[in-house]
Each structure stands twice: as structure tokens, then as C-alpha cells.
Amino acid sequence: MLFCKPLEHRTTAADIFQKLDTFMNTHGLVWDRCVGICTDGARAMTVRHGGVVSRVQAVAPDASWVHCSIHREALAAKGIPVRLKHVLDTSVKMVNFVKARPLNSRLFAALCNEMGSEHETLLLHTEVRWLSRGKVLTRFFELRDELKVFFSNHPFELSEHLHDEAYLTCLAYLCDIFSRLNELNLRLQGVSATIFNVQDKVEAMMKKLNLWKNCLDTNNTEVFPVLHDFLCSNDLTLSKSVKRECNVHLEELAVQLRRYFPETDGSNDWIRHPFTAVPTSLSPSDQESLIEIATDGSLKVEHAQKNLADCWIGLRTEQPALAKRAVKTLMPFATTYLCERGFSALTNMKTKYRARLCVENDLRLSLSQIEPNIEELCASAQAHP
């Protein structure tokens, strides 16, 4: 973490940039060294004229902007067909009926305990949590039998859907597809994720979406474990109407993912495949440097043992121009994962009982990867007489 400062008044782009600029000037950091900016899609950050990104690029012309890949994946997964949206909303309303009332929540927990259920509570859904939908629906589906019993004693107008096979089939599909989207979201996270990691994961997801659609077309539901188990255990087949809704959803997911993650032209493939790529985007001198790298057997062994960034950093002495170009591509953050980690640490640290806490030093300590040498610290301190 570079620094953590509160915004005392407004949260406009000008205020945010002023905090950044003041810190940079105070600590002697030069904007010219900034090569990348990764943010979410908030207006204060991304507005074309006067946003934080445009202000940073005005003082750091070489800085490129990246829209956080985790946020893009969440936006791509947000759209859902009307019928499936109805299933999701209805399920959330039933969850809220149980969870939002303390008495209902206690009675449902007692019922689950009596029935020997693996879980005793439902999970609340919130739009701002990326992984919420998948976990909420999966838990809801697992406890559907317990919910039927509960609603028989505590009537709720939407509970009749739990006896509808088409509704439950759609719900099972949503459990599976949101679980897969959650897996993609988690794979995009990580401290050292690069644009190449993101490209690989997204392209894999695009191919999987096509595979799943083909499987549904042939009534092969094994790729969706929850749906497959539900259909087999109840001796059901996938109806044409539900299959159509699922296919529409898969097609829309593919369209949205491609919208937020456009195909690359492959011009930077030489960075991660320096021994096999034949780039045409490089100048003749850079191509000569790449040939020298590609024919060096010791570098090939080193490339297999180290991560990509370390390999190119190690080549800065031998091939400075090419290594600089590669490092400049690898260095920018592909996601705001580290910021999200900071938010999680902040919410755990700054409770309502510590609302006035200035978290800068505490947050730095919480996020630091450096482990203190307790024995050395104790030895250097004078014991209390």
C-alpha cells in the first residue's frame, strides 16, 4: 500500500487527484515514472474531461488506463433474461422473508437442526458483493425441502414456486452458472495477475460458454452438476422452454464478456512466448534482440522456472530496449484486487465503535507482507525494571 488518506469533504475527481499529487510531491515521487492506472468505472475516475484518470495522464503521458478486470467481469455477468431474473428475485424475496425477521430466522434454524440439515441458515443477497448471487442461490436450493416445511406453517405468497418443477429447474441452472461465474471472478484475482492471465481466463470462459450451450442443445446436463442431479433425482427432462432460457442467457453472457473483454490482436504475444512467437509489430532491431533471446538455451530453462516479470527484469542488462518494453506491458495492475483487500481490512478494522479511528498506520500494518522479527524487537527494547 502506498498511502491511505481520508477525503475530508467531497469525493470529486479534483479532490482525489489533489490527494495523490500532494503525496507524490511531498515524498519526491515523479509522475513521469507512472506507467499504468487501474480503477473501477466510477464517474469520478473515468469521466473523459476532468476525471482522475485524465488528470493523471496529463502529468504522466506514458500512463495507460485499465478498467479493473474483476469489475468488468461482474458487469458482464449482471444481465439476465426476464424469466431467470424472476426466479432470482423470487428466491431473494423468500430468503428475505426468513432472514429479515428474527423470529422466522430462529424458527427456521431450529427446523433445519431437527431435520438434520447440513446448514441451518440462509444467506442474504447484496448487489455490491460480487460472489453473493451464487452463494445465496446455492444455499437456498440446498435448503428447499426445509423451506417447504417452514412455509407450510408460515404462509408466504411466493412459497408456491418451491413446488413448481420449471421454477426449480431454472433455479438449479442459476446455481450452476453463478458458481461458474464466481470461479472466474476468483481466478481473475491475485496479487501478481497480469493482462495475459486475464486474457487466458476470459478466453477459457468464452469457450466453456459455447461448450455448455452445445451440451444443452443435446440434452446433456452433466456440465451443470446441480441441474443434472436435480433432474436425475426427480426423473425429469429439461423442458424446451427452460432450455431456451438457458441458451439465451449463455449467448448473452458471451456477448457481454466479449463487449467488456475485446479480442486482442496478439501483438504482445512475444512477451510471454519469446521462444516461439514471430512478431511483426517489432522493429528490426527489436526482432534481432528477440532472436538472441529465443536461441539462448539457458534463458529457456530460466523462463520455465521463473515468473514472466522476473524473466524480463533479468534481461534489462542484456536487452535493455526489449526488456523495458516488456516490463512496461507487464507492470500495470490488471485488477484493483489490492484495493479490494484494503477495503476488506478497513471494514473489519473500522467498526461503528471505532468510527473516529485514523486507519492509515493500522491499515499499512494489516496489509504488509513483512513479518516482524519479534525476538529481535524484544531484545532491542529495554525491559521494564
What average pLDDT score do residues 277-285 get? 81
pLDDT in tens, 130-170: 567 788 889 889 888 888 888 888 888 888 999 999 999 99
Q: In terms of DSSP bridges, do strands 36-39 and 64-67 run parallel, antiparallel, or are they unpaired?
A: parallel
Q: Is the pLDDT of residue 356 over 70?
A: yes
Q: Are 120 and 105 in contact (CB under 8 A)?
A: no
Task: Quote the pLDDT of residue 158.
Answer: 87
Q: Is the dihedral of CA 146, 152, 155, 160 positive or negative?
A: positive
The pLDDT score that the predictor gives to residue 126 is: 63
Cα–Cα distance for residue pair 308/158, rounded to 1 Å: 53
pLDDT at 127: 56
- Grid look-up 437442526 returns 113
Q: How far is CA 317 from CA 34, 306, 311, 321, 354, in A?
A: 22, 17, 12, 9, 50
Confidence class for position 373, pLDDT limits 50, 70, 90: confident
pLDDT value of residue 72: 92
What element of type H or E holds 37?
Answer: strand 36-39
What gap in Å lies between CA 62 and CA 56, rounded to an integer? 10
Distance CA 86, CA 291 (A): 58
Query: pLDDT per residue over 7-35, tens digit each?
Result: 888 888 999 999 999 999 999 999 988 98
pLDDT tens string 331-345: 888 888 888 888 888
Three-state SS at 350:
coil
| pLDDT tens, residue by residue, 176-210 | 999 999 999 889 988 888 889 999 999 999 999 99
Of the chain, the percentage scoring pLDDT greater than 70 comes to: 97
The enclosing H or E element of 39 equals strand 36-39
Neighbouring residues of 117: CB distance < 8 A, sequence distance ≥ 6: 143, 146
Dist CA 9 CA 7 (whole Å): 6
Q: Name the grid cell of 360.
A: 492509515
pLDDT digits (tens, 9 = 90+) for 44-71: 888 888 899 999 999 999 888 999 999 9
d(CA 264, CA 206): 14
User: What is the pLDDT of the chain when averaged over all its residues?
Assistant: 87
Q: Where are the domains of the chain?
A: 1-67, 76-260, 283-380
Q: What is the DSSP letter of 247?
A: H
Residue 380 banded pLDDT, cuts 50, 70, 90: confident
Q: How sure is the predictor about 384, in pLDDT bands with cuts at 50, 70 and 90? A: low
Mean pLDDT, rounded, for 277-282? 78
Question: Which cell is 174 given?
Answer: 442459476
- pLDDT at position 198: 92
pLDDT of residue 225: 94
